[in-house]
Amino acid sequence: MKDFQYGIDQLTSSIAIEIMLGQRRGVLSDKTKIDIERSANHVQHIVDTKQTVYGVTTGFGPLCTSIINANETRTLQENLLKSHAVGVGEPIAINLSKLMLILKVHALAKGFSGIQWNTIERIVWHIDNNVIPVVPKQGSVGASGDLAPLSHLFLPLIGYGKIWVGKEQQETAHVLSSHGLAPLMLGAKEGLALINGTQFMAAHAVTAVVEMQNLLQNADLIATMMLEGLNGSIKPFFHQLHDLRPHQGNQYVAATIYNLLKDSQIVQSHKNCSRVQDPYSLRCIPQIHGASRSAWLHLKQTVEIEINAVTDNPVIIDRDLIISGGSFHGQPIALPMDYATLAISELGNVSDRRVYLSLEGDTAGVPKLLLASTGLNSGFMILQYTTAALASENKSLCFPASADSIPTSLGQEDHVSMGSISGRKLLQVIENVNHILSIELICAAQALDFHRPLKSTQIIEAIHQKIRDRIPHIEQDQPMTDILGSAYTLIKSGELVAHAAQLAHEYTIPYLGKQEHLFNQF
């Protein structure tokens, strides 16, 4: 198993997920220890010399003018965690809480936060032993960082809060006792370093980056199969067209679909048909999917800056330079998450349109409602009701949370990002689009069946067979719950994309002046 050095190595969304899943080990190096202890010594110097530094020798927020005695600094930090743990609602997923721990350790390990070494070691112990705190999903405004969720995340360090044990919640005191551990005594600034930061927002964004990539790849693959099933034209995917409007996402999607279809018998069978052009949901796949892919790339690039940054406050540059700034403000990732929410919603919106199109029945040889015999049977009619419902729900979730701001902290924090809401909405829309694409997958595979004995390309045929191994061709009405579940699993697992990538190793696509393999990370 490869090691990742907290505070030193460059963290990516995929590496963070690997650490969270136990596929990679996060470690603390000797250099990291030196950097952390140096920063902690700077904080102690501030206390010993009675300097006035926000959050170290003063109160917090509107109490920043209240001076705290040296012998009260520990109590100040513990009270900070207790008073700020005011989150409400259902807990976030355990994996999100674990990601928050991983992201926070990496930020603190850079040595600019004044944290103590034993505190960092305890957080890593929580990660390595899957002793994960319970964090409510609501309560952060995404400005002084994610104060409420991070307070819940780190209450267990001082013996409070709750811990996940399997799927059950247990009191921290009991869990620590069962492991032979005692609560920690926080030093000056430690509480502030723990709860100032963007790790709640960033954990949602990291998850979204990985899940969006899987959705984008599945969407291209499923749309290609639907294009085949509905006798769509391959010409809108010619590079000559996209060379004239060279948006990166458009070019990538067009090249991928062209390469997936260029040797298809089905494409050749209607090469000289009388249809002049296809509806937008087929003809404009590169433009629609491509724009969403470009939005994903923006989110990915922004997130990877964020998760390698120091986002608490104040920042200890050295003993003589302590800066109280705004690095905890969530705006830099709140805006891209709102943009990504819109982008992934549109992926579901156009997928619903292709599902509808597949039910109409036309000269493509595909029967109305995708069933050979209807009347007594309703066929696939009601599947599109579900995609319509989910697409509509997504539209209601697309209002940008970052467009709102409500002043907090008696006006000291007079502009907030609401990025925590951006992150939660984004993951909900991603989940909805997983279900929409599941239905398009079922419809696309069914449509392709009606073109036999003609064959598509090797990759599309292999993907179709993989679907048929789990989902049969449907000839009469039947309960669809298990079929929907099987399609969802095929998409969510990334199995279809992995299979396509394995088969496509010999295919390359011209992209930005270089050769890229199909389904490589964009």
Residues assigned a catalytic role? 54, 84, 196, 280, 283, 328, 413
CA-based R_g, the chain, Å? 26
| CB burial readout 111-142, b (16+ within 10 A) else e | bbbbbbeebbebbbebbeeebbbbbbbebbbb
Give dist(CA 255, CA 278) in Å, integer. 18
Note the helical H segments in 161-279.
172-178, 190-195, 199-229, 239-242, 248-261, 265-269
- Helices within 66-189 (DSSP H only): 73-84, 94-108, 117-128, 147-154, 172-178
**Spatial distance between the Cα atoms of 16 and 22, rounded to a whole number of angstroms:** 10
Alpha carbons 287 and 284: distance in angstroms, whole number: 5
Side chain identity at 232, as an amino acid letter? G
Q: How many whole angstroms separate alpha carbon 99 and alpha carbon 79?
A: 25
**479 preceded by a cis bond (ω within 30 of 0):** no
- Which residue(s) pair with 9 in the sheet? none
Q: Letter for the amino acid at 445?
A: A
Closest CA to 203 of 507, 463, 423: 423
Cβ–Cβ under 8 Å, residues 92 and 148: no
Q: How many CB atoms lie within 10 A of CB 71?
A: 8
The CA distance from 260 to 458, in Å, is 8
137 membership: H or E segment, kind and range: strand 136-138
Report yes or no: 259 and 220 within 8 Å, Cβ to Cβ.
Answer: no
Inter-residue contact 110 to 7 (CB < 8 Å): yes
The amino acid occupying position 183 is P
In 3-state terms, what secondary structure has residue 132? strand
- Grouping H, G, I as helix, E, B as strand and the rest as coil, residue 205 is helix
Within 8 A by CB and 6+ apart from 488, the residues are 434, 435, 438
Determine the angle formed by the axes of helices 248-261 and 285-306, rounding to 10 degrees. Answer: 120
Distance, in Å, from the CA atom of 336 to the CA atom of 302, rounded to the nearest integer, reads: 8
